Amino acid sequence: MDNKSIAGILYETADLMEIDGADSFRIRSYRNAAEAIEAHPQQISDLIGNDKQLLAISGIGKGMLQNLKEMLGEGRLKLHAELLTKYRPSMLQLLKVQGLGPKTIALIWSAYQVSDLEGVESLAREGKIRILPRMGEKHETKLLKAIEDYRRIAGRFLIDVAEKQAEKIADHLRHYPGVEKATPAGSLRRGRETVGDLDILVTGPACCDDTERQKLIDHIIKLPGLMEIIARGENKISFRMRGDMQVDVRLLAPDSFGSAMQYFTGSKAHNVAL
């Protein structure tokens, strides 16, 4: 089990614990550990026999250390498995619906044992959400609209989510020697309400030499949260982040950066008009 898999289990456990009404400090401890493990340069599986070295990692305490030993020894985390059995994996999708938070999900589950998007939508259309405590007709109407929006933009991401991801990636790149600029392009730069793929343009001396470009791409691959490499070329790498956002990073010589920024910012109709 590699670091990404361990972090994924911890992130999911934290989400399910939130639905379960667990202590907020404990939930945060799982997310902090997941972030630390995802960003750690060494594989936890290689360090599992060294308690002292693992405890030195920020976010890993004695309790979390036991969780790591359990995952690597048994291939699963008991708490994670128990929560998935109790609430079912489909409940994780509900957390992606804007305005449908853990407390509301838990309330719906407690009343109706419904844990999927279609089931919640049916309850709302039947007027069964409004009768729950702290709900009401207005909240029910908002919930139906949120589900409709979620389906409409499936595969796309709200601009604030895309901005946070772009800043995280740009920060990772700006600290690399020879990188002068790392700038979002595409629909994010145009200020669209939602973003599909995220385009990042990078320039500087590190982008001008074949060997240096490959070293920079190797650095990009170490980005915390990178789940899958889709394609890798001489001056471009495409990958998928945790949460399924696709990112395309292009490495450009300084003299072509301006024209590339115009082209990749678009839109397509704008480029055709030019």
Task: Give the pLDDT band of residue 268 (cuts 50, 70, 90).
Answer: low
Q: How many C-beta neighbours within 10 Å does residue 152 have?
A: 9
pLDDT of res. 79:
95
CA atoms within 13 A on the CB side of 229: 11
Residue 208 has pLDDT above 60, yes or no: yes
Encoding tokens for residue 55? 């405890």
Contact criterion met (CB below 8 Å) for 11 and 29: no
Whole-angstrom CA distances from 65 to 24, 101, 235 are 19, 29, 40
pLDDT of res. 272:
38
Q: Domains, the chain, ranges and CATH?
A: 3-152 (1.10.150.110), 157-273 (3.30.460.10)
Pair type for strands 181-184 and 198-203: antiparallel
How does the average pLDDT of the chain come out, rounded? 88
* Identity of the amino acid at 148: E
pLDDT of res. 266:
59
State the average pLDDT over residues 235-245: 89
- Give 159-191 pLDDT, tens digit per residue: 888 899 999 999 999 889 999 989 888 888 888
Backbone phi, then psi, for 119, in 5-degree steps?
Answer: -65, -40
pLDDT of res. 270:
43
State the average pLDDT over residues 26-46: 92
**78 closest CA partner among 62, 90, 67:** 67
- Give 41-56 pLDDT, tens digit per residue: 899 999 998 999 999 9
Query: If you ran DSSP here, which 8-state letter would residue 157 be given?
Result: E
Residue 58 has pLDDT above 80, yes or no: yes
Whole-angstrom CA distances from 156 to 15, 134, 192, 205, 246 are 21, 31, 11, 33, 10
- Give 71-101 pLDDT, tens digit per residue: 999 999 999 999 988 888 888 888 888 878 8
Residue 8 has pLDDT above 50, yes or no: yes
Encoding tokens for residue 160? 């604030």
